[in-house]
Structure 1
Amino acid sequence: MTRFLQIHYLTAYPPSNLNRDDLGRPKTAVMGGRNRLRISSQSLKRAWRTSDVFEQTLDGNVGKRTKQISHYLKPLQDAGKTEKEIAEIRSQILSVFGGSKKGAEDLDTLVYISQSEIKAIESLVQGLCSGKTMPEAKDLQLLKAEAHSVDVSMFGRMFASNTDFNVEAATQVAHAITTHEVAVEDDFFSAVDDLNEGTGSGHLGVHEFGAGLFYGYVCIDLELLKKNVANDELSKRGVIALIEAIARVSPTGKQNSYASRAHASYMLIEAGNQQPRSLAVAYLKSVKDEADYLESSIVRLEGTRNNMDKVYGKGWDSECILNAYKGEGSLDLVKSFVAGVV
């Protein structure tokens, strides 16, 4: 059985601000003494797990990350429960998911809940609407220790107050960084008041943006994923959905301003039982002053892998490559390859 699936990908984004910091600037990182654009793993994971690709491929078998557990309690009002009764029910249910301040309507922190847990809450609320006055202890066993939604199984969750229901993430996602040095640029803009018959603008402002070719890396522990999901077929669909999302889905930051949607130009998928390793070191020395950044980045990536294989031994058992730059391979072939090893 194959244990690890590693995905290396290169995606080029035109001027954009996909993932910004507290000042509204594109996130950056210094690597090899050079400034690079960065897209955080949190931004990437959210874009992937909330995408139409995930929803459609997994037929809705995805969870929710929320503080608003009270969202699922709205039917209690329609059923005629008093405010006092609703407050007591809400307090008991919130305590299961980590608790909140006294009298609060929602949790203090975001929690990841699976579809089976959402259904358990809805079932409890339905029972309370049908006549039961207050939930009993057995009714409050809402958290599930196994058979999680695919996204919860992939990306994990933590309950500080109830560690028995923590889920170790089966998927590790690296922050994507540009293969070359990048300077964040300023975009000075003005907006014109359509009803102003005189000269001048109605508003002045500045937005920051950047552009570049990003290297990303994802490692999936297939054994752990299957254990978390407890359904081999659903696990397979989950990995296929993730692969397609990596290839097709972009973070949503400032898309209306920049329309910076892009597909991966290159993907290298490796399957095997060997110790995983990123190939980010290929870009420790930034790609620069070369005719084609994409071609040079692909050559660097493949060359670094080959050299590592010479030194450490072959780091994979089987592979599949998609190279949109040369028109080689296809997403369908990648998905078929993944289906065969999961």
Structure 2
Amino acid sequence: MTTFLQIHLLTSYPPSNPNRDDQGRPKQAMVGGAPRLRHSSQSIKRALRESTPFDRGLAGHVGKRTKLLGVELEAELIKAGNDPVAARKAAVDVAKVFSTLEAVKKGEPDSPKGTTLAFISPDEWAAARDLAARSVAGEEIAKDKELKKLVLRRADGAVDIAMFGRMLASDPEYNRDAAVQVSHAITTHRALVEEDFFTAVDDLNKREETGAGHMGEHAFGSGVFYLYACVNVDLLVENLAGDRALAAEGLAALAESFATATPSGKQNSHAHHPRASYIRIEKGAQQPRDLSGAFFKPVDLRSEDVERKSIAELEKLVGQIDRAYGKCCDAAQVMDVKAETGSLAEILAFARGAVAS
């Protein structure tokens, strides 16, 4: 029976633009006929992977998404004193494991740069580095499928790959199904993008020109965001080659980063560093369910406290779903900052305990 860990968060953002669209404006969504601000799932997962809890708590167990494996291998081999031509060949041979390489003009040496981003675990990176070193030393290494078997892993200690999955189009047998699903975060209430008109002054031209040296516009928004995530705990353990202790620490890092990390767009312009004001974390074998329906009808902005009203609507829906469907989790832990109930330490302990369930 599968164990699921579900996380629901409410976080209040000040005027900011953490996640931009193609025009540089905050991303949006229409929900329940009302415009909302939105943070994409992709931007949230990037923020999680780059967060302090992942960096500090999962050191040595975080992968890298890159096209530049071959470029890095080549540079390392040359730095170690190897012939540049031999270093390039060795790097190219190994880099082909992860991606088709960039095309070059006829007569030029093969490029070690990939054409697609590959999500590479620390174990795979170490295997690639070892094979490249052996190749440049003159050792005959395996080719094609046999080489891939020496480098690629179906499961290992890369927590972020185990959580968020990966796809290798040319080698689907080494794909990894994501153990963590992350929603797009939306405001619980109606929210519109605002415009800021700004100017800049030329510091060295004060006598001749007293007006602006530059004028521009910048979009931003603010609101209370609801975010939901669901973890298949059994799949996470499987993706980590059965390492339950690492899975537990991964869940703790995930919960902490959800509470504290944010997409970093326009960070210097807005200094947005919000922390979740409300977290509800649940575990059990029941079918997962998100609570976004609590906000399909937007929270009334005329409420005395929109954040408090959002919490009330979320908890109301929890009770309504439990009444209709039966209990939707075996256990839950709540942290409500302004009500002074629960703590992050309790949330993390609860997350770790999901592995033992």
TM-score range, shorter chain: over 0.9
SS state at 2:310 partner: helix
Query: How far apart, in 2, do the equivalents of 1:132 and 1:51 lie?
Result: 41
Q: Deviations over 1:75-134 (max 9, x none)?
A: 2223454444334323322221121233333111111011100111122233345x2255
Deviates more, 1:131-140 or 1:199-208: 131-140
Query: How far apart, in 2, do the equivalents of 1:336 and 1:90 lie?
Result: 44
Q: Is the 8 A contact 1:240 1:338 kept in 2?
A: yes
Match of 1:206 in 2: 217
Are 2:127 and 1:120 equivalent residues in the alignment? yes
How big is the shift at 1:159? 0.6
How big is the shift at 1:59? 2.5
SS state at 1:74 partner: helix
Alignment equivalent of 1:109, drawn from 105, 113, 116 = 116
For normalisation by structure 1, the TM-score amounts to 0.96
Alignment equivalent of 2:232, drawn from 221, 239, 242 = 221
Match of 2:141 in 1: 135
Match of 1:44 in 2: 44
Counterparts of 1:49-198 in structure 2, within 5 Å, are 49-69=49-69, 70-102=71-103, 103-129=110-136, 131-132=137-138, 135-137=141-143, 141-198=150-207
Match of 1:6 in 2: 6
Alignment equivalent of 2:271, drawn from 249, 255, 259 = 259
Structure 2 letter corresponding to 1:6: Q
Deviates more, 1:27-36 or 1:332-341: 332-341
For normalisation by structure 2, the TM-score amounts to 0.92
Q: Is the 8 A contact 1:177 1:214 kept in 2?
A: yes
Query: How far apart, in 2, do the equivalents of 1:72 and 1:244 lie?
Result: 34
SS state at 1:96 partner: coil
Q: Deviations over 1:39-81 (max 9, x none)?
A: 0011000111111210111123101011111213312223454
Number of residue pairs aligned between Structure 1 and Structure 2: 341
How big is the shift at 1:212? 0.4
Query: How far apart, in 2, do the equivalents of 1:139 and 1:166 lie?
Result: 17
How big is the shift at 1:250? 1.5
Query: How far apart, in 2, do the equivalents of 1:53 and 1:8 lie?
Result: 18
Match of 1:284 in 2: 296
Query: How far apart, in 1, do the equivalents of 2:245 and 2:99 lie?
Result: 32
Q: Is the 8 A contact 2:8 2:229 kept in 1?
A: yes
**Deviation >6 Å, runs of 4+:** none
Are 2:346 and 1:333 equivalent residues in the alignment? yes
Query: How far apart, in 2, do the equivalents of 1:109 and 1:301 lie?
Result: 41
Match of 1:16 in 2: 16
SS state at 1:164 partner: helix
Q: Is the 8 A contact 2:281 2:334 kept in 1?
A: yes
How big is the shift at 1:201? 1.2
Alignment equivalent of 2:310, drawn from 280, 292, 297 = 297
Query: How far apart, in 1, do the equivalents of 2:45 and 2:179 lie?
Result: 13
Query: How far apart, in 1, do the equivalents of 2:12 and 2:60 lie?
Result: 30
Match of 1:249 in 2: 261
Aligned-residue Cα RMSD (Å) equals 1.5
Q: Is the 8 A contact 2:233 2:354 kept in 1?
A: no
Q: Is the 8 A contact 1:75 1:125 kept in 2?
A: no
Q: Which structure 1 segments of 5+ residues have no match?
A: none
Quote the sequence identity (%): 44
Match of 2:27 in 1: 27
Q: Is the 8 A contact 2:248 2:353 kept in 1?
A: no
Query: How far apart, in 2, do the equivalents of 1:158 and 1:238 lie?
Result: 21
- The structure-2 alpha-carbon separation of the partners of 1:145 and 1:20, relative to structure 1 and needing over 3 Å to count, comes to same
Q: Which structure 2 segments of 5+ residues have no match?
A: 104-109
Q: Is the 8 A contact 1:47 1:249 kept in 2?
A: yes
Q: Is the 8 A contact 1:32 1:284 kept in 2?
A: yes
Match of 2:107 in 1: none
Query: How far apart, in 1, do the equivalents of 2:21 and 2:203 lie?
Result: 33
SS state at 1:30 partner: strand
SS state at 1:46 partner: helix
Query: How far apart, in 2, do the equivalents of 1:75 and 1:213 lie?
Result: 47
SS state at 1:291 partner: coil
SS state at 1:22 partner: coil
